[in-house]
Amino acid sequence: MEFFCYHRDRAGSLALREELVEEHWSYMDRYEAELIARGPAFGADGETVAGSVHIVGLPDPAAARAFAFDEPNHQAGVYRDVLLRRWRNLLGRTMREFPGGRAGGRRYLVLGLGPHPTAAAAATATATASGPGLPSGVDHDELIAFGPLLSDDATAWLGTAALVRAPDPETARAVLAPHRYAETEVYQWEFGGRR
């Protein structure tokens, strides 16, 4: 099973995050084979860390919760909250297999959260539990990771998470059809892990 985990940073926690960087990386090293994508997301200024993305394959929701909540930054209070959802890897690849590589161009995390209220009934009636598929009109080679956010039992579509290379936030946001979502968030993002 695949899971999307977004730890959102608590305001003023950067010093603690920096103090724990080796503990965080050592923890993530234990999951290297299971990690589909990982890396920090940044606020509007492009410098302030907003959170950390981890997309990981684990056996079940209990293992995913342990992964998310045992993480050293979470245990120490760096994060204010955690978005943890089942996820489906529609690209079938990891960030390491992204054709664009680690460097070059701007990268973004795009979260489409919850069905838009006016589209909720239609989404329930017409969408499968997997949610919408890959976006049309988007170069899939610019997608680093893409998939639906699902309930623990994968029977309900709760949104979509994408990592994308794009020239600007507006272009990144356009990978998700706005009429489908109650809310869309866009953050600058970069490849994480040891280099």
In this predicted structure, what is the pLDDT of residue 119? 56
pTM of the entire structure? 0.91
Give residue-wise pLDDT tens across range 41-94: 999 899 999 999 999 999 999 999 999 999 999 999 999 999 999 999 999 999
CB distance 43 to 189 below 8 Å: no
Please give the pLDDT value at position 135: 83
Average pLDDT over residues 139-163: 94
